[in-house]
């Protein structure tokens, strides 16, 4: 009871003292801290990136003489959150895994500092406005995946995302929430692009989808494993399989085929505007960090030996020139590539990403 | 002058110690709450509107209360007959049976979640006996559709898993009470005019006698189901409970100017949880205060000679229940050997590949042995802190009681036990938003993960140690002092020597709790090299399972964690067997 009073008091005191103020906007000019060069340990902030196995890390440690220590985050959102929490005094020398849906926020808050690298051999189409701040290490196209076996005379393959609001797709679409999932966030951006950055029209589509019993999940795993009927989830426990369409990567059917002897029911659906090129970056946090060690790790990450294995070790595309998905077991054949190359332009929207997500949240969660 | 100062310090000592303990236990939560309130940008009235209008929050609240209520009630319906049968007959392996039935309570929640997932898996045990939770044609799914809940199969499994967890509480609370009730009491009641009728026996004899214990066990069951995190996260990922909502959005909350939605949501869900749990705690407190402990008892050994062997139906009930208790463990073990066939045909191969990969393989940047050594380290530190802390707090409480300030002692004891009713995830939020925001250097402190373990274990340890200390005759201490023993020897002869078995139980329980702790560690542990076994199970379960070995690999780690839980249980069982039941 005493604690209850304390809480109520805290609310009231905060009210009266005027502490509840307006939200701080992004800082205009960032000041970048000096590097620290005398540390033997390289702290890397990252999520559970499958490519970083024991062998790979040991090889780096032996070659460059650094000890690698990973700081955990759940996903790209978790990395950004971690950088926010330790703003100005980052605990990590290197942050790996922020993607292009989070980069702008990180830049706005001065959480990253420019690197001094000029990565060679990286595919030119990955060049973006973030080049001076982040180095791409893998990429993939987020798009809708469809269970081909669920199509019939009454339910034909949709040709635009508007088709998904029709009755035949009632309760048959599963999408991870943009609030908690990176692919979900990427897909949300792709819907904005689809409606030419018209926020109201975009939200109207989401509203229609909600009325059409859209399944919203916390993360990619629940959407793909539990609800999607066309993936490996059919073998997993707790599988419901009520969704014939989900958000994943365009090459997910290829990964399915790779591990199932060239056999999959899943196909990627490529509409003109509803895919999103997700690029994952290695970045250096703004603060007194060991940039030298961080740079060496990024260079190591971009070596042919490590990066060309991305499709099989991390289920993403390699960023290096002259690399491709493996042809083995139908990986490449089942992974269509979008013809049009769209990139999300936040300048076309007046709202910040946070404000957009708040609006999405109001539509979908209230 | 020196003597005066010494006596002042002596007088203030227990109060200072207890106040310091209370201050440090409440600090993270208060810091986190103030941080969340300050940046939520809402007035109190706006906040109340926000909370009540937020459909996700309200749905989570409804779901949390409903599943906790139903699972606690199912646990009660199963637990009472099992406890009754166990205590009314002379069972040859009673101690072993009781240990088996206690096992779920000390099982790490992530292991239990993995076990129930394995139970319901494709071609798993449930499917092999015809129970297909998610199949549209099955009666469970049909019933779900009838009541308008599409994922009813998994909710059903969640409720069963919570009930499975908590049945041991009913056995733990009821069995000793029924067993040690002297037969004379029952005989005397039977001689009364209406004593021969079952209804009146239940209404006027068993209900007053057992009602308090049943309510206590029910409240604890409700609490554990209400604050469950790992089970909700894995069994009903499409649903949020208040705890899982806090855990999911907690990582984005508490940062000024960023993800205001997450901050508000976490603040609201934490406060809602706090209100409900405060109510549960008050009920628990009043119930304990009014519980009648005075009854004529009989020792188990004496009773054993008078009791009859169990009839066949009782044996069948106990065997079936033991089987149900062990089923999830068996599922985890078998799942660690089953690997999905790499074709689209549904099938599995039996193989040791997952074990080989876990022990010798290269599946992660952290190995199973590192995770195991981390878990052991956290458990050891937790024990090293909790045991002396509990002793010091208990001594301080005894000192206050000795001075005649019984109400004050009760107040401090009450406040020390309050953290039992704070959920692990809330504590994790307290540390990650409260402590780390104010002292970022703590993020690199190697023993940071042990803080929530200590917080969560200490109230249980105090509940075990303090009553035992109260029962010790203080004359032993006085005599040791008279003999001129050293400080440590005085306290060892005065208290320690009488508490050896209690210490072993506390050590084993702390060890089991620390090894299995998940909710707080999920939010607090940042360095991958600090990963514990329970976190590694979660990490492996979270991975995309395109590669068929990913799932059995997580089951291997769960099996290893389960093995250590069994060892703890064996130690507790052994100590209790030698020194009698420790209340």
> Cβ separation of B44 and A218 shorter than 8 Å?
no
Q: Which residue of B has its CA nearest to A49?
A: B364
The rounded distance, in Å, linking the Cα atoms of B304 and B323 is 25
Q: Which residue of A has its CA nearest to B157?
A: A238
Residue B351, CA atoms < 13 Å, CB-side half-sphere:
14
> Cβ separation of A365 and B43 shorter than 8 Å?
no
- Which residues on B lie below 8 Å from A315 (Cβ)? 544, 546
**Cβ–Cβ < 8 Å for A336, A250:** yes
* pLDDT for the residue numbered B55: 84
Residue A235's contacts (CB-CB under 8 Å, 6 or more residues apart) are: B122, B340, B346
Q: Which of A145-149, B141-145, B213-217, B563-567 has the lowest mean pLDDT?
A: B141-145
* pLDDT for the residue numbered B159: 93
- Which residues on A lie below 8 Å from B121 (Cβ)? 236-238
- Which residues on B lie below 8 Å from A82 (Cβ)? 526
Closest in A53, A85, A224 to B362, CB measured: A53
Q: What does the DSSP assignment read for A225-277? A: IIIBSSSGGGGSTT----BSEEEEETTHHHHHHHHTTS--SEEEE--SS--EE
Residue B484, CA atoms < 13 Å, CB-side half-sphere:
0
3-state helix, strand, coil in chain A (%, to 5): 40, 20, 45
The rounded distance, in Å, linking the Cα atoms of B382 and B380 is 5
Residue B89's contacts (CB-CB under 8 Å, 6 or more residues apart) are: B307, B308, B309, B310, B311, B314
Residue B312 burial (C-beta neighbours within 10 Å; 0-12, 13-18, 19+)? exposed
* pLDDT for the residue numbered B296: 58
Q: Which of A139-153, A294-308, B119-133, B449-463 has the lowest mean pLDDT?
A: B119-133
Looking at per-residue confidence, does B304 or A214 come out higher?
A214
pLDDT digits 0-9 by tens, B340-364: 875 555 677 888 888 988 887 766 6
* Mean pLDDT value of segment B274-298: 74
Q: Which of A104-113, B134-143, B327-336 has the lowest mean pLDDT?
A: B134-143
- How many angstroms away from the CA of A85 is the closest CA of chain B? 7
The rounded distance, in Å, linking the Cα atoms of B422 and B429 is 11
**Cβ–Cβ < 8 Å for B167, B75:** yes
* Mean pLDDT value of segment B262-273: 89
The rounded distance, in Å, linking the Cα atoms of B27 and B44 is 22
* Mean pLDDT value of segment B101-125: 84
* Mean pLDDT value of segment B373-402: 90
Task: Mutate one of A238, A311, A364 to test the B interface: name it (highest B CB count within 10 A).
Answer: A238
3-state helix, strand, coil in chain B (%, to 5): 75, 0, 20
Task: Mutate one of B233, B257, B531, B553 to test the A interface: name it (highest A CB count within 10 A).
Answer: B257
Closest in B38, B367, B440 to A20, CB measured: B38
* pLDDT for the residue numbered A3: 42
The domain locations on chain A are 19-140+280-323, 141-276+339-356
- In A21-40, the residues whose Cβ lies within 8 Å of chain B are 21-25
The pTM (predicted TM-score) of the whole model is: 0.81
pLDDT, averaged per 10 consecutive residues of chain A (366 residues), comes to 41 34 45 78 87 85 91 84 84 91 89 88 88 92 91 86 92 91 91 91 94 90 89 78 92 91 87 84 92 92 91 91 90 86 75 85 80
- Which residues on A lie below 8 Å from B120 (Cβ)? 237-238
Other beta carbons within 10 Å of B346: 11
- Point out which residues pair with A147 in neighbouring strands: A266
DSSP letter at A122 equals B
The rounded distance, in Å, linking the Cα atoms of B409 and B416 is 11
The rounded distance, in Å, linking the Cα atoms of A39 and A34 is 14
Q: What does the DSSP assignment read for A11-63? A: HHHHHHTT---PPP---SS--PPPP----SEEEEEE---TT--HHHHHHHHHH
Residue A276's contacts (CB-CB under 8 Å, 6 or more residues apart) are: A101, A141, A142, A143, A186, A187, A189, A190, A193, A342, A344
- What phi-psi label fits residue A49: left (phi over 0), alpha (psi between -120 and 50 degrees) or beta? beta
> Cβ separation of B255 and A263 shorter than 8 Å?
no
Closest in B157, B238, B525 to A222, CB measured: B238
Query: Can you tell me which residue has the tokens 């701040």?
Result: A133
Helical packing angle, B500-516 and B550-579, nearest 10°: 170
Looking at per-residue confidence, does B296 or B551 come out higher?
B551
pLDDT digits 0-9 by tens, B194-235: 777 778 888 888 888 888 889 989 998 999 999 888 888 888
The rounded distance, in Å, linking the Cα atoms of A133 and A119 is 12
Instruction: Decide if A256 touches B, using CB distance below 8 A.
Output: yes
- How many angstroms away from the CA of B330 is the closest CA of chain A? 16
Q: Which residue of A has its CA nearest to B368?
A: A54
Mean per-residue pLDDT of chain B: 82
* pLDDT for the residue numbered B500: 80
Residue B172: phi and psi, rounded to 5, are -60, -40
Task: Mutate one of B148, B258, B267 to test the A interface: name it (highest A CB count within 10 A).
Answer: B258
Residue B546's contacts (CB-CB under 8 Å, 6 or more residues apart) are: A232, A255, A256, A258, A259, A315
pLDDT digits 0-9 by tens, B528-542: 778 888 988 988 888
Query: Can you tell me which residue has the tokens 């166990």?
Result: B86
- Which residues on A lie below 8 Å from B55 (Cβ)? 365-366
Instruction: Decide if A18 touches B, using CB distance below 8 A.
Output: no
Query: Can you tell me which residue has the tokens 């998994």?
Result: B154
> Whose CA is closest to B83, among B320, B326, B325, B318?
B318
The rounded distance, in Å, linking the Cα atoms of B258 and A110 is 13
The rounded distance, in Å, linking the Cα atoms of B208 and B205 is 6
Pick the CATH number of A19-140+280-323 from 2.60.60.20, 3.40.50.300, 3.10.20.340, 3.40.190.10: 3.40.190.10
**Cβ–Cβ < 8 Å for B295, B134:** no
* pLDDT for the residue numbered A7: 42
The rounded distance, in Å, linking the Cα atoms of A175 and A163 is 15
Residue B294 has pLDDT above 60, yes or no: no
- Write the class of the CATH domain B54-335: mainly alpha
Q: Do domains A19-140+280-323 and A141-276+339-356 have the same CATH topology?
A: yes
> So what's the architecture of A141-276+339-356 in CATH?
3-Layer(aba) Sandwich (3.40)
- How sure is the predictor about B298, in pLDDT bands with cuts at 50, 70 and 90? low
Measure the CA angle with vertex A85, ends A57 and A29; round to 5°: 100
* pLDDT for the residue numbered B426: 83
The rounded distance, in Å, linking the Cα atoms of B105 and B173 is 13
Q: Which of B57-61, B81-85, B177-181 has the lowest mean pLDDT?
A: B177-181
> Whose CA is closest to B172, among B208, B205, B214?
B214
Helix (H, G, I), strand (E, B) or coil at B235: helix
Task: Mutate one of B124, B545, B558 to test the A interface: name it (highest A CB count within 10 A).
Answer: B545
Residue B238 has pLDDT above 90, yes or no: no
The rounded distance, in Å, linking the Cα atoms of A97 and A45 is 8
> Cβ separation of A72 and B545 shorter than 8 Å?
no
The rounded distance, in Å, linking the Cα atoms of B434 and B254 is 9
- In A293-352, the residues whose Cβ lies within 8 Å of chain B are 315
The rounded distance, in Å, linking the Cα atoms of B401 and B304 is 38
* pLDDT for the residue numbered B466: 86
The rounded distance, in Å, linking the Cα atoms of B68 and B569 is 26
């Amino acid at each position: 009871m005493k604690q209850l009073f304390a809480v109520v008091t805290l609310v009231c005191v905060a009210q009266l003292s005027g502490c509840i103020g307006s939200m701080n906007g992004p800082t205009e000019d960032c000041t970048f801290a000096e590097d620290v060069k005398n540390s033997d340990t390289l702290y890397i902030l990252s999520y559970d990136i499958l490519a970083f196995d024991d062998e790979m890390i040991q090889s780096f440690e032996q070659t460059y003489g650094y000890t690698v220590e990973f700081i955990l985050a759940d996903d790209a959102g978790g990395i950004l959150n971690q950088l926010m929490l330790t703003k100005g005094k980052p605990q990590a020398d290197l942050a790996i895994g922020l993607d292009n849906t989070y980069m702008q926020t990180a830049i706005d808050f001065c959480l990253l500092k420019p690197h001094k690298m000029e990565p060679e051999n990286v595919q030119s189409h990955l060049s973006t406005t973030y080049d001076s701040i982040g180095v791409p290490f893998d990429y993939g196209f987020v798009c809708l995946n469809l269970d081909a076996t669920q199509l019939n005379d009454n339910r034909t393959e949709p040709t635009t995302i508007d088709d998904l609001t029709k009755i035949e797709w009632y309760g048959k679409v599963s999408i991870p929430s943009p609030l908690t999932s990176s692919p979900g966030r990427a897909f949300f951006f792709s819907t904005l692009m689809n409606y030419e950055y018209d926020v109201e029209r975009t939200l109207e589509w989401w509203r229609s989808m909600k009325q059409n019993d859209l399944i919203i999940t916390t993360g990619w795993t629940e959407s793909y494993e539990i609800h999607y009927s066309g993936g490996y989830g059919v073998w997993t426990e707790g599988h419901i399989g009520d969704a014939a369409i989900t958000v994943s990567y365009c090459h997910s059917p290829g990964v399915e085929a790779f591990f199932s002897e060239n056999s999959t029911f899943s196909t990627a659906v490529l509409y003109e505007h509803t895919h999103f090129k997700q690029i994952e970056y290695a970045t250096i946090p703004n603060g007194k960090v060991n940039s030298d060690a961080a740079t060496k790790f990024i260079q190591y990450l971009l070596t042919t030996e490590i990066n060309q294995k991305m499709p099989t070790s991390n289920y993403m595309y390699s960023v290096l020139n002259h690399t491709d998905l493996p042809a083995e077991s139908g990986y490449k054949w089942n992974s269509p590539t979008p013809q049009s190359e769209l990139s999300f332009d936040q300048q076309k929207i007046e709202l910040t990403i946070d404000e957009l997500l708040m609006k999405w949240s109001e539509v979908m969660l209230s | 002058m020196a003597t005066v100062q010494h006596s002042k310090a002596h007088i203030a000592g227990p109060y200072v110690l207890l106040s310091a303990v209370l201050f440090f236990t409440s600090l993270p939560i208060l810091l986190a709450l103030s941080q969340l309130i300050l940046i939520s940008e809402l007035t109190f009235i706006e906040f109340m509107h926000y909370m009540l209008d937020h459909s996700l929050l309200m749905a989570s609240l409804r779901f949390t209360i409903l599943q906790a209520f139903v699972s606690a009630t199912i646990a009660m319906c199963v637990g009472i007959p099992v406890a009754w049968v166990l205590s009314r007959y002379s069972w040859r392996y009673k101690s072993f049976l009781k240990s088996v039935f206690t096992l779920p309570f000390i099982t790490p929640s992530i292991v239990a979640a993995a076990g129930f997932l394995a139970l319901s898996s494709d071609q798993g045990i449930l499917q092999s006996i015809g129970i297909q939770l998610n199949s549209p044609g099955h009666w469970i799914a049909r019933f779900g559709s009838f009541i308008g809940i599409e994922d009813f199969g998994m909710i059903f499994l969640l409720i069963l898993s919570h009930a499975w967890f908590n049945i041991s509480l009913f056995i733990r609370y009821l069995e000793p009470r029924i067993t040690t009730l002297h037969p004379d009491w029952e005989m005397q009641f039977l001689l009364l005019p209406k004593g021969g009728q079952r209804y009146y026996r239940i209404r006027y004899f068993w209900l007053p006698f057992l009602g308090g214990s049943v309510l206590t066990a029910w409240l604890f069951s409700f609490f554990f189901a209400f604050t469950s995190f790992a089970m909700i996260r894995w069994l009903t990922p499409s649903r949020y409970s208040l705890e899982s909502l806090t855990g999911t959005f907690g990582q984005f909350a508490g940062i000024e100017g960023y993800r205001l939605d997450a901050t508000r949501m976490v603040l609201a869900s934490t406060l809602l949880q706090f209100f409900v749990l405060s109510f549960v705690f008050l009920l628990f407190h009043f119930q304990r205060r009014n519980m009648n402990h005075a009854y004529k008892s009989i020792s188990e050994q004496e009773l054993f000679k008078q009791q009859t062997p169990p009839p066949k139906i009782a044996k069948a009930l106990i065997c079936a229940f033991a089987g149900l208790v062990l089923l999830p463990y068996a599922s985890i073990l078998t799942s660690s050997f089953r690997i999905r066939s790499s074709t689209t045909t549904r099938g599995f191969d039996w193989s040791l590949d997952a074990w080989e990969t876990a022990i010798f393989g290269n599946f992660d940047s952290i190995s199973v042995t590192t995770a195991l050594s981390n878990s052991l380290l956290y458990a050891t530190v937790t024990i090293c802190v909790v045991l002396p802390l509990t002793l010091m707090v208990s001594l301080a409480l005894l000192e206050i009681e000795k001075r005649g300030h019984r109400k004050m002692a009760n107040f401090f004891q009450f406040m020390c036990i309050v953290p039992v009713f704070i959920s692990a995830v809330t504590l994790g939020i307290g540390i990650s938003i409260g402590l780390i925001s104010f002292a970022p250097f703590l993020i690199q402190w190697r023993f940071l993960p042990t803080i929530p373990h200590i917080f969560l274990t200490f109230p249980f340890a105090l509940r075990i140690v303090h009553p035992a200390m109260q029962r010790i005759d203080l004359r032993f201490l006085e005599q040791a002092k008279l003999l001129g023993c050293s400080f440590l020897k005085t306290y060892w002869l005065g208290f320690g020597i009488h508490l050896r078995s209690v210490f072993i139980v506390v050590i084993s329980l702390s060890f089991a709790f620390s090894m299995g702790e998940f909710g707080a560690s999920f939010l607090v542990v940042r360095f991958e090299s600090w990963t514990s076994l329970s976190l590694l199970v979660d990490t492996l379960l979270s991975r995309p399972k395109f590669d068929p070995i990913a799932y059995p690999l997580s089951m291997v780690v769960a099996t290893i964690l389960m093995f250590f839980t069994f060892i703890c249980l064996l130690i507790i069982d052994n100590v209790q067997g030698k020194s009698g039941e420790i209340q």
